[in-house]
Amino acid sequence: MTLTVLTLFPDFVESYFATSIAARAVARGFIEYRAVNIRDFAQDRHGTCDDAPYGGGAGMVLMPGPLGRALDSVEALKKRTVFPTPSGNLLTASYARELSEERELVLICGRYEGIDQRIVDLYVDDEISIGDYVLSSGELAALVIVDAVIRLGEGVISEESLREESFNGGLLEYPQYTRPEVFAGMQVPEVLLSGNHANIREWRLRESVRKTKRNRPDLFARLDDDLKGIASDEGAK
């Protein structure tokens, strides 16, 4: 998959791709990326890319000229183009899965109060929000989307980790433990040391359902009745 990120802060974007799982995915050739500096497409000697909104109001809006030329330079009209914005559709595990199946993605990092609507109308396929709060940096939001997408790509993370993680099957992930067996006087649950894989599976499922009920009642409400029943089973510790 090829990811092209249009930004006024290319160093910020580069630092993400130079670190951890993203860097490994780049090194192994699973993904390619480009950070394109929108300012390189400005036309005055100050490199101006933003201006006050028509109609008045606070903040600045990215001008369509420089951003449009930056988008044309990467042939955005031929590619799925994503604009991260708090007024977009909410990102979910299934939305990330859908995006991970694209061969190429273009992401536009907005700043200030946003970008000129004509750019959205002409180029943008997906307006995506990462949650009901506002970030000052479009880069942070874009990289959250990139991270959720690339980890789903073949070979980036083990199939087993992806299968077991939160949201698969509408459940949150069960609690994890590692050595030592006793920490701060607290024992690792006995069943995890038992070697009985059927019991371990059952315990993990019950803990997942309980955690979902406690932390995300909205997700719990959508579970099948037999799963909901597991949270209240007698004899469960």
**Residue 135 found at the interface with ligand 6GU (CB under 6 A):** yes
List 138, 143, 156, 209, residue binding ligand 6GU (CB under 6 A): 138
**Shortest Å distance, C-beta 113 to ligand 6GU:** 10
List 25, 50, 84, 150, residue binding ligand 6GU (CB under 6 A): 84
Q: Closest Cα to residue 108, out of 96, 98, 122?
A: 122
Q: What number of other Cβ atoms are within 10 A of residue 199's Cβ?
A: 13
**Residue 12 found at the interface with ligand 6GU (CB under 6 A):** no
The angle subtended at Cα 195 by Cα 232 and Cα 208, nearest 5°, is 30
Across the strands, what pairs with 108?
6
Among positions 168-187, residues that touch ligand 6GU (CB under 6 A) are: none
**Residue 130 found at the interface with ligand 6GU (CB under 6 A):** yes
Tell the residue number behind the tokens 């899965």, with chain if given. Answer: 97
**Shortest Å distance, C-beta 5 to ligand 6GU:** 13
Residue placing its CB nearer to ligand 6GU in the complex, 126 or 207: 126
Burial environment of residue 35 by CB neighbours within 10 A (0 to 12, 13 to 18, 19 or more): buried
Residue type, 103: R
Using only C-alpha atoms, what is the Rg of the chain?
A: 22
List 4, 7, 81, 85, residue binding ligand 6GU (CB under 6 A): 85
Residue placing its CB nearer to ligand 6GU in the complex, 130 or 171: 130
**Shortest Å distance, C-beta 143 to ligand 6GU:** 10
